[in-house]
């Protein structure tokens, strides 16, 4: 922390957000003020510009990052309501909000990629639009003549590292950003005409969309970086599958869990886009959850055991010394290059790269038996504890503003 910084003494921090060079901490004071503080590399969001009003704002409800900037969404004094957005950090990568966006008070969600932000605006009269700012190469501006700024039925915006995809209420998807990484659809692609998309998922350079025809068939389509999951292998059965439950992305691969308990994968083999020769995983029919770190995937089976694949150094291979410990597992959580499993009896078991928390002998003894997969504060009406499911998140590379 900077010399004489008050940050180490703060006791009201509720969330910490990072970009590649700085941190921002969202605070909620005892008096209910919702504030933000920052530290790190000054030019990239580690401090606020001289005279900035942001440190004094008391209605910050969300903070999002690009690789070199932060954006904060405000409630404008109305608890839970939409509001304005402010930003700081590198101007060329989202740290400067254009005047037309800064004037808006109806922003309900902000999404960032490596160099740009996109925000959903809801006028509370049925119109949900999207605005963007930051590095134009990565989607900070819309293409000339694009219809996207005029659309009024935006439901979801998803980002990969270089592009954005927006799902509309009519089940279609629109995209913008770097064309090599999903910012445009391939020539002749049928995806722009599809009207049954229910979810869009991203990895670093590609997108996957789950379709639901409302008659029981759930399929998946993809676009973006072909080597990183933006296309299926020749002869793949995946495009014809009709029982896709969920899709998870990591750096350059995807995994899809099916309703029959099996998992299919595609993309870069080195990060889990294929299973190792002789692997038993493709034949398993009891997989109930899949999570991905940047380099590998791990899957929880209904019997409480765990399987993994992908880069062996980053959790894609479970060490033989760890396998016997993975019993009665109830949840798996990824870091950038490792995995942690929580068991029914409160044990924490980790594997993967030691730099990312994967050394099991370094887990503090004070955690063992004291970590739960249940949300104790979220008790349902029948007083039964709810399961804290792992977040399906994408892990961004530590290298910043990589050249596509």
As a whole number, mean pLDDT of residues 349-353 equals 97
pLDDT digits (tens, 9 = 90+) for 107-140: 999 999 999 999 999 987 889 999 999 999 999 9
Query: What does pLDDT average to over the chain?
Result: 90
How deeply is 76 buried, as exposed, middle or buried, from its count of CB atoms within 10 A (0-12, 13-18, 19+)? Answer: middle
Query: What is the C-alpha separation between 131 and 267, in angstroms, rounded?
Result: 31
Residue 230 reports pLDDT greater than 90: yes
CB 35 within 8 A of CB 53: no
Encode burial over 181-214: b for 16+ CB neighbours within 10 A, e otherwise. bbbbbeeeeebeeeebbebbbbbbbbbbbbbeee
pLDDT digits (tens, 9 = 90+) for 361-393: 999 888 888 877 764 443 333 333 333 444 454
Specify the pLDDT at position 81: 57
Q: 187: pLDDT confidence band, cut at 50, 70 and 90?
A: very high
Helix, coil or strand: residue 146: coil
Residue 202 reports pLDDT greater than 60: yes
Helix, coil or strand: residue 350: strand
pLDDT digits (tens, 9 = 90+) for 42-56: 999 999 999 999 999
Residue 29 has a CB neighbour count (10 Å cut-off) of 12
What DSSP line would sit under 167-225, residue for residue? EETTS-EEEEE-GGGTTSPPTT-SGGG---EEEEEE-SSEEEEEEE-SSS-EEEEEEE-
Of 61-70, 134-143, 226-235, 377-386, the one with minimum mean pLDDT is 377-386
Q: Which stretch of DSSP H or E encloses residue 100?
A: helix 99-102
Residue 396 reports pLDDT greater than 70: no
Q: What percentage of residues in the chain have a pLDDT greater than 90?
A: 82
As a whole number, mean pLDDT of residues 328-356 equals 95
pLDDT digits (tens, 9 = 90+) for 73-110: 998 744 455 689 999 999 999 999 999 999 999 999 99
């Amino acid at each position: 922390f900077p010399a004489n910084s008050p940050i180490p003494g703060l006791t009201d921090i509720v969330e910490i957000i990072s970009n590649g060079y700085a941190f921002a901490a969202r605070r909620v004071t005892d008096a209910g003020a919702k504030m933000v503080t920052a530290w790190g590399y000054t030019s990239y969001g580690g401090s606020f510009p001289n005279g900035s009003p942001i440190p004094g704002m008391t209605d910050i409800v969300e903070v999002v990052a690009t690789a070199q900037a932060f954006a904060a969404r405000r409630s404008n004094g109305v608890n839970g309501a939409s509001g304005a957005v402010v930003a700081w950090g590198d101007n060329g990568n989202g740290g400067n909000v254009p005047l037309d966006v800064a004037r808006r008070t109806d922003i309900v969600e902000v999404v960032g990629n490596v160099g740009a932000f996109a925000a959903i605006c809801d006028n509370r009269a049925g119109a949900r639009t999207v605005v963007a700012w930051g590095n134009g190469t990565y989607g900070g501006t819309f293409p000339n003549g694009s219809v996207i700024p005029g659309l009024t039925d935006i439901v979801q915006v998803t980002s990969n590292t270089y592009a954005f995809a927006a799902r509309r209420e009519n089940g279609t998807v629109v995209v913008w950003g770097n064309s090599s990484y999903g910012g445009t659809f391939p020539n002749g692609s049928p995806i722009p005409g599809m009207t049954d998309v229910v979810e869009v998922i991203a990895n670093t350079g590609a997108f996957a969309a789950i379709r639901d025809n409302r008659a029981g068939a759930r399929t998946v389509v993809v676009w973006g970086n072909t080597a990183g999951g933006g296309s299926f292998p020749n002869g793949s059965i995946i495009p014809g599958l009709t029982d896709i439950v969920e899709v998870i992305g990591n750096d350059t691969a995807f995994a899809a869990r099916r309703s029959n308990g099996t998992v299919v994968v595609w993309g870069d083999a080195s990060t889990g886009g294929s299973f190792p020769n002789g692997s038993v995983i493709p034949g398993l029919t009891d997989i109930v959850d899949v999570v991905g770190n940047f380099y590998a995937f791990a899957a929880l089976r209904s019997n409480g055991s765990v399987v993994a694949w992908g880069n062996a150094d980053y959790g894609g291979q479970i060490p033989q010394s760890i396998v016997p410990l993975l019993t009665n597992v109830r949840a798996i959580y990824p870091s950038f290059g490792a995995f942690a499993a929580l068991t029914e009896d409160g044990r924490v078991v980790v594997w993967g790269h030691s730099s990312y928390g994967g050394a099991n002998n370094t887990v503090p003894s004070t955690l063992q038996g004291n970590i739960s997969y249940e949300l104790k504060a979220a008790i349902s009406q029948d007083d039964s504890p709810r399961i804290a499911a792992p977040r399906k998140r994408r892990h961004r590379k530590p290298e910043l503003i990589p050249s596509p």
